[in-house]
Chain A
Amino acid sequence: MTLDFFIQNFINAMQWGSFLALIAVGYTLVYGVLLLINFAHGDIFMVGAYTGYFIGTFLTNNFEIKLPFDLPSWVVIPVTIVATMFITALVGVAIERIAYRPLRNRGAHRLYLVITALMFGLLLEYGNLALLGASDRQFPNLFDKIIYSIGGITVTNIKIYVILLSFLSMGILWWIVQKTRWGMAMRAISYDRLAVPLMGISVDQIILFTFVLGSSMAALAGIMYGTAFPILRFNMGMLVGWQAFIAAVVGGIGSIRGAMVGGYILGFTQIFVAAFLPSTYRDLIAFVVLLLILAIKPTGLFGVPRRTKV
């Protein structure tokens, strides 16, 4: 148990926690605005990763249809990221339009919304399995991997990019939510849903914006996950997305700060558990942690308990 061991695991945990935090933020944003746990969000992460795979493969000329010229990597990377975020945001918005909005407008019981969300997640997952087949895909190599060795620690440049990019995006997200008018409207809806339209703000537009924001973050996480762990599988939405969901609940669903902190807490727990116990226990430990935290503090670490009038 040397210092090197701890620092190595610390860096791995920061990377893993970044993925979980980015996806958890999406869950929290939608819950804050709609009071709905968007169970389909983990599979939106999967859609982001696969979209990034297709676009990246196309742009790096590894696809069946080849471009007549080769693009340099400083063009490929931003184009892939932006295009993937855009398309995944479209998917998120489509789900909201097709499923959630008609049920909301009809005033349907929240239970039906939750079931629909769960089913949409499964639909995306099994649709992927049916359309693309069961074999795993390999994410294209967008940047060359450089390995740095400092003392006994090996760090790849990808890990550093992931951590930096996550912090940057979470910073931008925080700025949007706290300092812009759209963000103010999102926070207003989570405080008092009925007063917002009275103030001349279109609730539908804000909800749209929330879904765009959450889905783009998930898409970014998908691309980075594909770069760091290049094998894509149809059930990665369930594998990674559910853990991010636990992170959001642990941090307190409805609180963006909670989602970010929860992501890193869960990431650290999982990496350090896997360092000492066989790695098959990772999921088990994650869910036991969830149950324990829900038993002690049912609304999560930073969550605000919702009061119901009797």
Chain B
Amino acid sequence: MKRFGMPALIGISFLICIVPAWLGWYSNYIQFIITLIGINIILTVSLNLINGYMGEFSVGHAAFMGVGAYTSSLLTVYLLTENPFFGKAILPEELSILIFPISLLIGGVAAALFSLLIAIPSFRTRGDYLAIVTLAVNFIFKSAIENVDAIGGPRGFMGMGKVVKAMDNLVSFPWLIFWTFLVVVFSIFIIRNFINSTMGKSIVAIRDDEIASELMTVNTRWLKIVAFMLSCGLAGVAGGLHAHTVTFINPSSYFILQSTYILVMVYLGGMGSLSGSVISAILFTILLEMLRPLDVWRWVATPLLLIILMLFRPTGIMGSRELLDVFPKLKKYFSSLQERLTNAFIKS
């Protein structure tokens, strides 16, 4: 069959990421890096929807990651483990395999609801003022969590390690990498289909000219809500995965530095390019890990990288093109003739 491109890609990544981890060939460190790469891909792809395709300027994405992280961690730790915050476990540990994805989902939903805090102001404001609102949301999240002492406040929250261990005890499988992989595939699938649908084209229309698109029957308010909720919901799920990977979270891990990382990855990949986001997420995570011997200078390198990027190549690696635009001969493996003809007609 001709269109084997996407299934082949997914199959190969499954082979590279999950099978060796299952067989125990990968050390814990490499498993951690693979999970982190997956989480960063989800975050970048979701922020690209708002910053790239919709043309807004949201610099507070880490807050939604944090909402998802705290929500799903609180749920799993409360239900499944005995811990100093809440006391004994409510449900038996065997249910952890089932509860974990449900808690990720609930974390995503919570983050999507929290995103209404920036979706509603975005009706009236754009550009710099929306950046201010998103930054304020970042600060509000951090201050709010720091004031709730019952979940640790600024001292942080932990206990997720026990949940992951419980899942591993039941069935010895790299659960975290598996769920991260699933969510990565799911989010790329959803966002790609969203972009190619009518709603996606309306969102690009909002970026190009909001008033003209209002005149052309685009319901900008509804679309902004949908886009923000989708994007921040995915970030929330990524946050839940992140929390269970690092097993100790505190409000400062979901603050401006984390938002900056996601911003760097989006602009490095190119606004409005899905394959660019994936590539830049992989590259940036690996780069950041390679810079680990530099200790604190890592945190100097990230803003410096973005400044140099802005000065010399502001469109990022891929600009607004997709990988298939760079290698057009590969297109026949990924989409059908009918799809290609339709897209060619629209893009011209």
Give residues in A with beta carbon < 8 Å to B. 37, 99, 102-103, 108-112, 114-116, 118-120, 122-123, 126-127, 129-130, 238, 242, 245-246, 249, 278, 280-281, 283-284, 287-288, 290-291, 294-295, 298, 310
Contacts and interface: CB of A to CB of B under 8 A. Distances in A.
Interface SS, A side: helix
A280 B311 CA distance: 39
Contacts of A118: 59, 260
Interface SS, B side: helix
A115 B132 contact: no
A126 B310 contact: no
B190 interface: no
Interface of B: 57, 59, 117, 121, 124-125, 127-129, 131-133, 135-137, 139-140, 143-144, 146-147, 211, 256-257, 260, 263, 267, 296-297, 299-300, 302-304, 306-307, 310-311, 314
B296 A129 contact: yes
A290 B125 contact: no
Contact of A310 (B128, B211, B260): B211
Contacts of B304: 119, 123
13 contacts: A99-B307, A110-B128, A115-B306, A116-B311, A122-B299, A129-B299, A242-B135, A246-B136, A283-B139, A287-B140, A294-B121, A294-B129, A294-B133
Contact of A112 (B131, B257, B314): B314
Contacts of B137: 291
Contacts of B310: 99, 103, 108, 112, 115-116, 119
B132 A290 contact: yes
A111 B310 CA distance: 10
B147 A126 contact: no
Contacts of A130: 296-297, 299-300
Contact of A119 (B297, B306, B314): B306
Across the A-B interface, the 5 shortest Cβ-Cβ residue pairs? A284-B143, A119-B303, A126-B299, A122-B303, A123-B303
A114 B57 contact: yes
Contacts of A242: 135, 139
Given A122-B257, A310-B211, A291 B128 contact: no
A110 B304 CA distance: 19
A123 B117 CA distance: 29
B50 to A, nearest CB: 13
Contacts of A278: 147
Contacts of A99: 307, 310-311
Which of A103, A114, A238 has the most chain B CB within a 10 Å cutoff?
A: A114
A284 B129 CA distance: 19
A287 B311 contact: no
B128 A287 contact: no
Nearest to A37: B128
A39 B182 CA distance: 38
A245 B129 CA distance: 12
A123 B296 contact: no
Contacts of B135: 242
B296 A281 contact: no
Contacts of B306: 115-116, 119
